[in-house]
Amino acid sequence: MALSLGFIVERLGGALHGDAALQVRAIAPLERARADEISFLAHPKYAAQLAHTHAGCVIVGPEQAVAARARGACIVTERPYVYFARLTQLWKAEHRGPALRGIHPTAIVDPDAEIGDDVSIGPFCVVERGARIGAGTVLRAHVTVGEDCVLGRRCLLHAGVVIGADGFGFALDEDRHWIKIEQLGAVQIGDDVEIGANSCVDRGALSDTVIEDGVKLDNLVQIGHNVHIGAHSALAGCAGVAGSAKIGAHCTIGGGAVVLGHLTLADGVHISAASVVMRSILKPGQYSGIFPIDENASWERNAATLKQLHGLRERIKALERGLTAS
């Protein structure tokens, strides 16, 4: 269960400096790697760790090549972290063997669903009528794809994902009872989308919920009806996006963050974990809104004062007027 450095560069490219016959038995971070393991320098800021690592080989960028060669074998490549990612893919393919393909005998796939080539549908999946699943897409166990929902090619849906549950739509009647608005839209998911375990993407009310190519959703993420997520955006675990929000391309939404409904986020907007987006954000950049954690007693004092903050501002104004007057 080892790969030679020669095999690695033959498959993934990069310039090898060192013994092509050297076998590595695992991939490991610099600080823990041993002589029979390969490591990587993900970012130049960790360059100081190069001198101390025991790794048998290190994947580095051109600017670290001299230092890396001074200490032992290395593979030089423009983007070491991407190279590392591709190495994990090679590693998995070589060590775990090819993933099983095909439709598990326990899966329930409606005869009116369209299933592309080389699709894998895991145990206890349910694919309803009118659903379409693109070539190479993988559904792990217990995934549900509702009526008329569409998945692109090479998607990966982890266990427990629910695509196409009803959006949350009700009208209040004269007795203040909720009257269900049937959700007549579906879900459209592009190519190369990954969706984490137990996450949900609701069907649209009148038109469809849309997730564009290359989007990555972590576990326990909630996507409301008629949300639109632009290509190559990523949402971390427990994030929630309310109905009809429009998130641009190349955005990142941190874990536990909430995006309220009907908002627009421009391309390249980055929301910190646990922040709440209450207004549209039309300028790329990093945005945050998190109450700073503190020892409980300090927090209590500050939180109590926060409930008087507007009043404090008025008192500061008054002081400023007083000082001017005095």
The radius of gyration computed from the CA coordinates of the chain, to the nearest angstrom, equals 26
81 three-state secondary structure: helix
Matching residue, tokens 């590595």 = 24
- Residues 3-32 touching a copy of itself, rule: CB under 8 A, are 26-29, 32
Phi, psi dihedral angles at 138 (to 5 degrees) = -120, 125
Nearer to a copy of itself, 51 or 105 (CB): 105
Least distance to a copy of itself from the beta carbon of 291, Å? 4
Q: Does residue 2 touch a copy of itself according to CB under 8 A?
A: no
CA distance 222 to 202: 8
Which part of the chain contacts a copy of itself (CB under 8 A), choosing from 4-12, 17-25, 50-58, 230-238? 230-238
Distances (CA, A) of 183 to 41, 161, 211, 221, 225: 49, 19, 17, 20, 8
Q: Which of residues 36-65 bind a copy of itself (CB under 8 A)?
A: none
Q: By CB under 8 A, name the one of 103, 114, 237, 264 that touches a copy of itself.
A: 237
Query: Of the two residues 48 and 303, which places its CB atom closer to a copy of itself in the complex?
Result: 303
| 42 vs 81: CA distance, rounded Å | 5
Site for a copy of itself in 91-110 (CB under 8 A): 91-92, 95-96, 106, 108
If you ran DSSP here, which 8-state letter would residue 15 be given?
A: E
Q: Tell me if 236 sits within 8 A of 273, measured CB to CB.
A: yes
C-beta separation of 303 from 309 below 8 A: no
Closest CB 46 distance from a copy of itself, rounded Å: 13
Between the CA of residue 39 and those of 1, 20, 70, 197, what are the distances in Å?
17, 16, 16, 29
**CB of 72: closest distance to a copy of itself in angstroms?**
20
- Distance (Å, whole) CA 43 – CA 65: 13
- DSSP one-letter code for 281: B
Which of these ranges, 4-12, 59-67, 86-94, 111-119, lies near a copy of itself under the rule CB under 8 A?
Answer: 86-94
Return the range that interacts with a copy of itself (CB under 8 A); candidates 6-14, 17-25, 55-63, 87-95. 87-95
Cβ closest to a copy of itself, residue 69 vs residue 91: 91
Whether 225 sits among the annotated catalytic residues: the reply is yes
Q: How far apart are CA 51 and CA 61, in angstroms?
A: 15
21 or 309, CB closer to a copy of itself? 309
Name which of residues 115 to 174 contact a copy of itself (CB under 8 A).
122-124, 126, 140-142, 144, 146-147, 156, 158-160, 162, 165-166, 168-174
b/e per residue 48-74 (b: at least 16 CB within 10 A):
ebbeebbbbbbbbbeebbebbeeebbb
Q: Considering the rule CB under 8 A, would residue 70 count as an interface residue with a copy of itself?
A: no
Which span (4-12, 45-53, 67-75, 182-190) binds a copy of itself, by CB under 8 A? 182-190
Both structure tokens of 268? 């390249």
Query: How far apart are CB 22 and a copy of itself at their closest, in Å?
Result: 19
User: Which of these is catalytic: 225, 228, 232, 270?
Assistant: 225
Q: Do 293 and 277 meet the contact criterion of CB atoms below 8 Å apart?
A: no
Question: What's the closest the beta carbon of residue 212 comes to a copy of itself, in angstroms?
Answer: 12
**Binding segment for a copy of itself among 3-11, 53-61, 67-75, 212-220 (CB under 8 A)?**
212-220
**What binding mask, one character per residue, do residues 258-297 give for a copy of itself by CB under 8 A, x or -?**
x-x----------xxxxxxxxx-x---xxxxxxxxxxxx-
Residue 281 CA to residue 278 CA, distance in Å, equals 9
Which residues form the catalytic set?
225
